[in-house]
Amino acid sequence: MGYDLTKPSDPALAPGEARCPGPSTRDIIASDGDQVPPPLLEESYQFLGDADIAFNRYTSEDLYDREIRRVWSRTWQWACREEHIPNVGDYVVYDVGPYSIIVIRVAQHEIKGYVNSCLHRGMQLCDAGSQGQGKQFLRCPFHGFTWHLDGTLKEVPCRWDFPHLNEDEFNLPEVRVGLWGGFVFINMDPDAQDLMDYLEVLPNHFAHWPLQERFVAMHVEKVLPANWKMAIEAFLEAYHVLATHSEAVKTVGDANAQYDIFGENVTRFVHTIGYPSPHLRDQPSQEEQLQALGGGHLLEGSDKLPPGETARSLFAAFQRREFSKELGVDLSGVSTSEMLDSIEYFVFPNMFLFPGITIPMIYRFRPIDVDHCIHEILFLHPVPENGPRPPPAQKVRLEIEDSYSTVEGFNPGLAYVFDQDTDNLYRQRAGAKASVKGAQTLGNYQEARIRRLHMTLDNYLNT
Ligand code: FES
Ligand SMILES: [Fe+2]
């Protein structure tokens, strides 16, 4: 039996109170009947207003320049994983816009971030985007000014020519570094709030999903044809599933996905997998849903699920068995929702985290120019219980026209979905520029995370 999604919402409801008819995400997860981490049952929606958002926020060079100066230089961004720099002298260069930071392990338990610019005549000390191991010191390749790992000056060739150089004032300028969940974050603003405060509910929620116990099993980077905000927004809502990923409607709760606004920096959606879209007027049977999930073989020739089972419970049990074997970890205590659902947190300005097991992704977006950005996807798998921590995967680079399906080992179904999402961006970017209306009109509920992104952006632009 379907739901009529065309019905106007109840006029007695205040703006933003309307909800999709049908079972809520929370109801679906609760009806799985297993133990889920309490954050999965939290709801934290806020109505944030309904004004249009002008397209010049995506096209203005002027605004882009202000974002670079006021947002990207003042927010916490993850630069690398700790596993990328396990030993003293290991480093990664994190670049965003004109900024470049060397993130380097300077002692066993200490990581520092230095501005990647020589104090002599500005040469980059390390190549942009590079990483390396075991540096003893930082030596500029131009004239050889050299610093110790702790940032103090070690050597100036022809020291006699610099009698005016005060060594105490020639330490490498540092940026702030914070560690959480196995990630190394940097912030170029000395006055920024502490990382743990900035991350709002994340430390609390992710106490249930310790990402420091995972490793980078795959890392893909691709240039996308859109302003960084437009690209991010394509991943902040499940409203587009019906039109863009319509092949998924039998297995994806979309219109009834849950959206949470936890603060200025952190938002979330949870959309269920193995539960049909409320858009379907003829709801598929549990057996059909299991087939659509790719679990038809679990019926073992019968045309009925065993009593007490659902498509979700059977498929999650199958995934638990398969992934336990494949990953070398015990997943017996992991809930159905964590095995199946798309649970996605966003941290302003550019980090996405999926704590689930089946698609355990991290995204990072970085601007290139007003019309292009970089999108990275990392898969973080649990470290095997009885084995050493595998080394982090090397990054695979895709150019703007490349399909995700060309990446070896990338799940083909997921690659198809990412290609659909990123192909949309060409048309959206062009359409936004052609617009006479000049602005987008957002849904109050399903697109609230997009509005929150713009509100937080404005806080940085205006202060
Ligand atoms: S620019 Fe670095 S030593 Fe001259
Ligand atoms: Fe999508």
DSSP string across 49-68: ----EETHHHH-HHHHHHHI
Is the distance from the beta carbon of residue 138 to the nearest atom of ligand 1 less than 6 Å?
no
Comparing 211 with 283, which gets the higher pLDDT?
A: 211
Question: How many whole angstroms separate alpha carbon 275 and alpha carbon 435?
Answer: 37
Query: Is ligand 1 within 6 A of the CB of residue 141?
Result: no
Indicate if the pLDDT at residue 145 is higher than 50: yes
Whether 56 has a pLDDT exceeding 90, the answer reads yes
- Residue 414's region, left for phi above 0, alpha for psi from -120 to 50, else beta, is alpha
pLDDT beyond 70 at 5? no
Please name which of 252, 265, 255 lies closest in space to residue 353, comparing C-alpha atoms. Answer: 265
For residue 201, is it within any domain?
no
The alpha carbon of 154 and the centre of ligand 1 are apart by a number of angstroms equal to: 13
In a domain, 65, yes or no: no
Q: How many domains does the chain have?
A: 2
Q: What is the pLDDT of residues 85-136, one digit of tens each?
A: 999 999 999 999 999 999 999 999 999 999 999 999 999 999 999 999 999 9
* Same domain flag for 44 and 102: no
- Report whether 68 contacts 227 (CB < 8 A): no
On average, the pLDDT of the chain sits at 95
Global pTM value = 0.96
Atom of ligand 1 nearest to the CA of 122: 1
State the closest ligand 1 atom to the C-alpha of 118, by its place in the atom list counted from 1: 2
Is 304 touching ligand 1 by the criterion CB < 6 Å?
Answer: no
- Please give the pLDDT value at position 371: 98
Whole-angstrom distance, CA of residue 27 vs CA of residue 337: 12
Q: How far is CA 248 from the centre of its chain?
A: 22
- In this structure, the residue with its CA closest to atom 4 of ligand 1 is 143
Residues 250 and 392 in one domain: yes
Q: Say which CATH number the domain at 169 has.
A: 2.102.10.10
Residue 69 lies in a domain: no
Let me know whether 348 and 220 are in one domain.
Answer: yes
Q: Which atom of ligand 1 is nearest to the CA of 145?
A: 3
By CB atoms closer than 10 A (0-12, 13-18, 19+), residue 88 is middle
Q: Residue 387 sits in which domain range?
A: 25-60+212-461
The two structure tokens encoding residue 337:
């929702």
Residues 323, 404: one domain?
yes
pLDDT at position 1 is: 38
Residue in the structure block whose two tokens are 């470049």: 100
Residue 6 clears pLDDT 80, i.e. is over it: no
Q: Which of residues 63 and 276 earns the better pLDDT score?
A: 63
Residue 334 has pLDDT above 60, yes or no: yes
Please report which ligand is nearest the Cα atom of 155.
Answer: 1
Structural domain contains residue 154: yes
Residue 411 neighbours by CB under 8 Å, 6+ apart: 359
pLDDT of residue 21: 79
Residues 35 and 122 reside in one and the same domain: no
Confidence check: pLDDT of 9 > 70: no
pLDDT at site 428: 98
- Tell me, yes or no, whether 181 and 217 share the same domain: no
With a 6 Å cutoff on the Cβ, whether 120 touches ligand 1 is yes
Three-state SS sequence of the chain = CCCCCCCCCCCCCCCCCCCCCCCCHHHHHHHCCCCCCHHHHCCCCCCCCCCCEECHHHHCHHHHHHHHHHHHCCCCEEEEEHHHCCCCCCEEEEEECCEEEEEEEEECCEEEEEECCCCCCCCCCCCCCCEECCCCEEECCCCCCEEECCCCEEECCCHHHCCCCCHHHCCCCEEEEEEECCEEEEECCCCCCCHHHHCCCHHHHHHHCCHHHEEEEEEEEEEECCCHHHHHHCCCCCCCHHHHCHHHCCCECCCCCEEEECCCCEEEEEECECCCCCCCCCCCCHHHHHHHHCCHHHHCCCCCCCCCCCHHHHHHHHHHHHHHHHHCCCCCCCCHHHHHCEEEEEECCCEEECCCCCCCEEEEEEEEECCEEEEEEEEEEECCCCCCCCCCCCEEEECCCCCHHHCCCCCHHHHHHHHHHHHHHHHHHHHHHHCCCCEECCCCCCCHHHHHHHHHHHHHHCC
Residues 407 and 279 in one domain: yes
Q: Domain check: are 322 and 438 in the same one?
A: yes
In the predicted model, what is the mean pLDDT of residues 309-333? 96
Give me the mean pLDDT over the 172-179 stretch. 98
Please check whether residues 175 and 55 belong to one and the same domain.
no
pLDDT of residue 301: 87
| Average confidence (pLDDT) over 364-372 | 98
Q: How far is the CA of 120 from the centre of ligand 1 (A)?
A: 5
Taking the C-alpha atoms of residue 199 and residue 205, their distance in angstroms, rounded to an integer, is: 10
Residue 281: band (very low, low, confident or very high) from pLDDT cuts 50, 70, 90:
confident
Please identify, by atom number, the ligand 1 atom nearest to the C-alpha of residue 123. Answer: 1
178, part of any domain? yes
pLDDT of residue 239: 95
- For residue 381, being part of any structural domain is answered with yes
Q: Is the pLDDT of residue 14 over 80?
A: no
CATH number, residue 343: 3.90.380
Q: Is the pLDDT of residue 292 over 90?
A: yes
Is 320 found in the same domain as 408? yes
* pLDDT score for 253: 87
Cβ 145 under 6 angstroms from ligand 1: yes
Q: Which residue, 161, 191, 221, sits at the end of a domain?
A: 191
Whether 155 is in a domain gets the answer yes
DSSP 260-301: EE-SSSEEEEEE-BSS--TT-SSPPPHHHHHHHHT-GGGGTT
pLDDT in the model for residue 10: 58
Give per-residue pLDDT as tens, 384-421.
Answer: 999 899 999 999 999 999 999 999 999 999 999 999 99
Q: Please give the average per-residue pLDDT across 292-317, as a whole number.
A: 94
What residue's CA is closest to ligand 1, atom 1?
121
C-beta separation of 230 from 199 below 8 A: no
Kindly state if the Cβ of 85 falls inside 6 Å of ligand 1. Answer: no
118 touches ligand 1 (CB under 6 Å): yes
Query: CB within 5 A of ion ligand 2: which residues?
Result: 421
* Residues 212, 181: Cα–Cα separation, whole Å: 5
User: Do residues 262 and 308 share a domain?
Assistant: yes
Shared domain check, 289 and 402: yes
How many percent of the chain have pLDDT more than 70? 97
User: Among residues of the chain, what percentage have pLDDT more than 90?
Assistant: 89
Kindly identify the ligand whose nearest atom is closest to the C-alpha of 236. Answer: 2
The band of 52, judged by pLDDT with boundaries at 50, 70 and 90, is: very high
Q: What is the mean pLDDT of residues 344-372?
A: 97
450 in a structural domain: yes
Which residues neighbour 3 within 8 Å (Cβ) at sequence distance 6 or greater? 20, 21, 22, 278, 279, 281
Q: Which atom of ligand 1 is nearest to the CA of 157?
A: 3
